[in-house]
Structures are given as structure tokens and as C-alpha cells.
């Protein structure tokens, strides 16, 4: 692929434009502080960088722990071919979250402070520790790909020896971290709009992160099969789609019950921005869920991919609603991100795609399918254990 470097394609031009605007926005951030590079205010201290870069970045990485749990702890080996891409996504996702934090923190040079100055009553403290520890775990889970590439057998053995406790630790840290991003917003009952504020936010964040992680796994496989001319593991992805449908159903049902129990359905009668954003978010979740129950949809790559994309977008809408738009009315202000906030966000996403592509190209991420997933295998996935 490196032979084609000088060739100019539409995507490369777009990529370069995004990165250039991101570089200029970064200059503004460093030179003029948060005031010169964001539309944040005393009334609205968190914006796109927290709502998208951090909250979505973390959960789009959830495929990593979900698949580690499926393959190594529940020992469902058939999903192994998509395990490594999922771990790579998670590792990149977390690294990019840290990059996003460096932009957003007022004092990025003090990123390490929570590790030394403790306040166990703070959710943010828990988040900081989870990010640190889980990034380390993901790095260790990613290392075997590097060791294999260079044929270092000794370190490979060491890693394998600690792999089981490492994986269990990773799953636990993810569980804590994904849910604690929801817990963050429990402190603002009077600010967050009633369609989103619920005492079970941590649970909802956890389940939706699993769904987003699975959707991202399908999304990546589809893209990488096109980029690298690989055959698509369709039966495998189709059965992952089945799991996704179940997880989404559980999620939507809990949200429905929660809205009912809190008497929040009456809010839907109001014609205001929040109602429409909520409708968008739920619509984008319901449509793919219903579709994924059809075998014909799951077995058509394009349709399966479209469903995964809808799930991801529904999820992003949810995080942005909880993290930004749902807080506007309660904060008595409006927030529209500045161009530089958007430019940095797009650059981070674009960098993520590029690095993924690079690593997937040079390292053994997509394994050679020694044990080909026979179509019959897909039927076995009837009792998928993920929707716990």
C-alpha cells in the first residue's frame, strides 16, 4: 500500500484537509486557551470534546472487552477472527480519548494528578483510574500482535502466561469505566433533561456501550474487508448481528421501563428540541434492532453494515444528548461547538482511521483463517451468552 503514497485520491485530500484544520485548531487551543478555541462558558463547561471525543471514544472501544469476554472467558472460539481488530480498536480508542482529554483539560500538564491526589468520592477519579489501567491492559493485549510480527517468542510466552487474569481485569475495568461515564451525570439531576436523567444511567451506559462495541466490530470488519480485499466473515458477522439485536432489545426495553416508571413519557408531548433529539436517538436504535431480527438482513453485507452504522449513530446521539444537548435547558444557555472544536474532533477520528489502517496493514491483526468459519457454525450461536 505504501507504493501508492503519492497518488492523490478524494479521501486523501479530505484527510489532509481535516488534519490541516485540526492542526490550526490545535494552535488556537495552545495559543489562546479554551476561550479562544471553544464555545464553552461558565454556564456550559463541557462541550463536544467531552461529549464526543471522550464519551463516544470510550464506548466505541467497548468491542474490545466484549469480544475478549466472549472468546476467552466464555470460550466461544468462533468469534476469534474479529477479536484482534476489536482489541486494536479499543486500544486506539482509549489512546485517542487521552488525546481528546489533553485538548479539553484546562491543565493538560496535570493529567497525572488523579493518580497521586486521591478523592475516592469522585466519579471522575474512578474514570481517571479506569482509563489509565485499562489503557495499560489494552496495550498488553495488543502486544502479542507486535511480538508475532517480529517473531519474539520469549515475551510472547510471558504475555500468554498472564493473559487470563489480564483479560478478567480488562473486562472488570471496562464494566466500571463504561458505567461510570453514566454515573458522572447523576450529580446533575436538576440540569439534565428528564428524558435522559435517570438513576440507572450507569446501567444504560454499560449496555449501550456493549451494543456500540459490537456494532463497531461489524463496521470495522466490513471496512477492512474492502480496504484489504479480504473475504468478509459474513456468517460470523451475521451471528454477531444477532447478538447485537438481542443486546439492543434489552437496552431499549430497559429504557422503555425506566421512562414509564419515572413518568417521563409525558415529556414527549412537548414540542421542543429535546423531544426531537430523543426521537432521533430512539428511532436510530429501533430500526436496526427490528431489521437485525430478519435473517435476510443479517446475511446481506450492505444491510448488516447499515444496521451497524445506525446503532453507532444512535449511540453517538445518546452520548451527545446526555453530555451536551440534554443539559442546555437546565443550564439556561445554548451551546453550538466552535469550528475548532469540530476540527479537532474530526482530526482525532481521521487519525484513528489512518492509524488503524496502518497497523492492520503491517501487523497480524486480521488472522489467517486456519479454522474457517463454516456456514453451519452460524447456527450454533443460538444461545449467545452476551446479553447478560
Nearer to another protein, 43 or 270 (CB): 43
The answer to whether 284 touches 317, Cβ cutoff 8 Å, is yes
Q: Please report how close the Cβ of residue 358 comes to another protein at its closest, in angstroms.
A: 31
Terminal CA-to-CA distance of the chain, rounded, Å?
41
The answer to whether 68 touches 171, Cβ cutoff 8 Å, is yes
Nearer to another protein, 23 or 124 (CB): 124
Nearest to 350 by CA among 64, 17, 84, 108: 17
Q: Please report how close the Cβ of residue 186 comes to another protein at its closest, in angstroms.
A: 4
Nearer to another protein, 52 or 305 (CB): 52
Q: How far is CA 31 from the centre of its chain?
A: 30
What is the C-alpha separation between 156 and 178, in angstroms, rounded? Answer: 29
Residue 112: count of CB within 10 angstroms of its CB: 10
Q: Please report how close the Cβ of residue 39 comes to another protein at its closest, in angstroms.
A: 10
Nearer to another protein, 207 or 284 (CB): 207
User: C-alpha grid cell for residue 227?
Assistant: 480496504
Nearer to another protein, 14 or 187 (CB): 187
User: C-alpha grid cell for residue 207?
Assistant: 449496555
Q: Please report how close the Cβ of residue 48 comes to another protein at its closest, in angstroms.
A: 14
Nearer to another protein, 104 or 233 (CB): 104
Nearer to another protein, 164 or 336 (CB): 164
Where does residue 125 rank: exposed (0-12), middle (13-18), buried (19+ CB within 10 A)? middle
What is the C-alpha separation between 319 and 149, in angstroms, rounded? Answer: 37
Q: Please enumerate in sequence order all residues whose Cβ is within 8 A of that of 159, keeping only pairs 6 or more positions apart, or say none.
A: 140, 143, 144, 147
Nearer to another protein, 46 or 222 (CB): 46
Nearer to another protein, 76 or 218 (CB): 76
Q: Please report how close the Cβ of residue 190 comes to another protein at its closest, in angstroms.
A: 5
Q: Please report how close the Cβ of residue 367 comes to another protein at its closest, in angstroms.
A: 19
Sign, CA torsion 341/344/346/348 = negative
| Alpha-carbon distances of 299 from 232, 294, 296, 305, 365, rounded to whole Å | 11, 9, 5, 10, 24
| Alpha-carbon distances of 379 from 228, 232, 375, rounded to whole Å | 28, 18, 8
Contact residues for another protein, defined by CB under 8 A = 30-36, 40-43, 45-46, 69, 72-75, 77, 104-108, 110-111, 113-114, 117-128, 164, 168, 171-172, 175-176, 179-180, 183-184, 186-191, 199, 202, 327, 331-332
Q: Please report how close the Cβ of residue 139 comes to another protein at its closest, in angstroms.
A: 20
Nearest to 111 by CA among 120, 127, 98, 123: 98
Nearest to 92 by CA among 139, 126, 137, 148: 139
Amino acid at each position: 500500500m505504501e507504493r501508492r503514497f503519492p497518488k492523490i485520491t478524494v479521501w486523501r485530500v479530505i484527510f489532509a484537509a481535516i488534519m490541516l484544520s485540526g492542526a490550526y485548531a490545535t494552535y488556537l487551543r495552545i495559543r489562546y486557551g479554551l476561550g479562544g478555541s471553544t464555545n464553552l462558558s461558565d454556564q456550559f463547561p463541557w462541550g463536544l470534546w467531552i461529549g464526543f471525543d471522550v464519551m463516544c471514544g470510550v464506548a466505541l472501544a467497548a468491542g474490545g472487552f466484549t469480544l475478549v469476554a466472549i472468546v476467552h472467558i466464555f470460550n466461544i472460539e468462533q468469534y476469534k477472527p474479529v477479536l484482534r481488530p476489536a482489541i486494536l480498536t479499543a486500544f486506539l480508542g482509549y489512546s485517542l480519548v487521552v488525546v481528546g482529554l489533553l485538548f479539553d483539560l484546562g491543565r493538560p500538564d496535570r493529567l497525572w494528578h488523579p493518580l497521586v491526589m486521591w478523592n475516592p468520592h469522585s466519579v471522575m477519579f474512578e474514570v481517571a483510574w479506569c482509563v489509565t489501567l485499562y489503557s495499560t491492559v489494552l496495550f498488553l493485549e495488543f502486544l502479542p500482535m507486535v511480538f508475532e510480527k517480529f517473531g519474539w517468542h520469549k515475551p510472547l510466552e510471558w504475555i500468554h502466561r498472564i493473559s487470563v487474569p489480564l483479560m478478567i481485569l480488562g473486562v472488570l475495568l471496562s464494566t466500571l469505566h463504561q458505567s461510570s461515564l453514566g454515573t458522572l451525570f447523576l450529580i446533575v439531576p436538576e440540569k439534565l433533561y428528564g428524558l435522559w436523567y435517570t438513576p440507572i444511567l450507569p446501567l444504560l451506559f454499560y449496555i449501550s456501550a456493549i451494543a456500540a462495541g459490537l456494532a463497531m466490530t461489524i463496521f470495522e470488519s466490513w471496512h477492512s474487508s474492502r480496504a484489504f480485499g479480504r473475504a468478509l466473515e459474513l456468517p460470523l458477522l451475521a451471528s454477531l448481528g444477532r447478538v447485537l439485536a438481542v443486546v439492543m432489545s434489552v437496552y431499549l426495553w430497559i429504557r422503555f421501563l425506566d421512562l414509564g416508571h419515572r413518568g417521563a413519557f409525558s415529556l414527549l408531548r412537548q414540542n421542543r428540541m429535546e423531544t426531537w433529539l430523543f426521537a432521533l436517538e430512539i428511532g436510530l436504535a429501533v430500526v436496526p434492532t427490528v431489521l437485525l431480527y430478519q435473517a435476510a438482513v443479517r446475511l446481506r453485507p450492505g444491510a448488516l453494515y447499515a444496521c451497524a452504522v445506525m446503532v453507532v449513530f444512535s449511540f453517538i446521539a445518546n452520548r451527545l444528548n446526555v453530555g451536551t444537548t440534554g443539559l442546555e435547558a437546565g443550564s439556561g444557555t445554548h451551546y453550538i461547538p466552535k469550528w475548532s472544536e469540530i476540527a479537532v474532533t474530526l482530526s482525532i477520528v481521521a487519525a484513528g482511521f489512518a492509524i488503524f489502517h496502518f497497523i492492520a496493514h503491517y501487523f497480524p491483526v486480521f488472522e489467517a483463517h486456519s479454522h474457517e468459519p463454516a456456514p453451519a457454525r452460524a447456527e450454533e450461536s443460538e444461545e449467545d451468552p452476551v446479553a447478560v
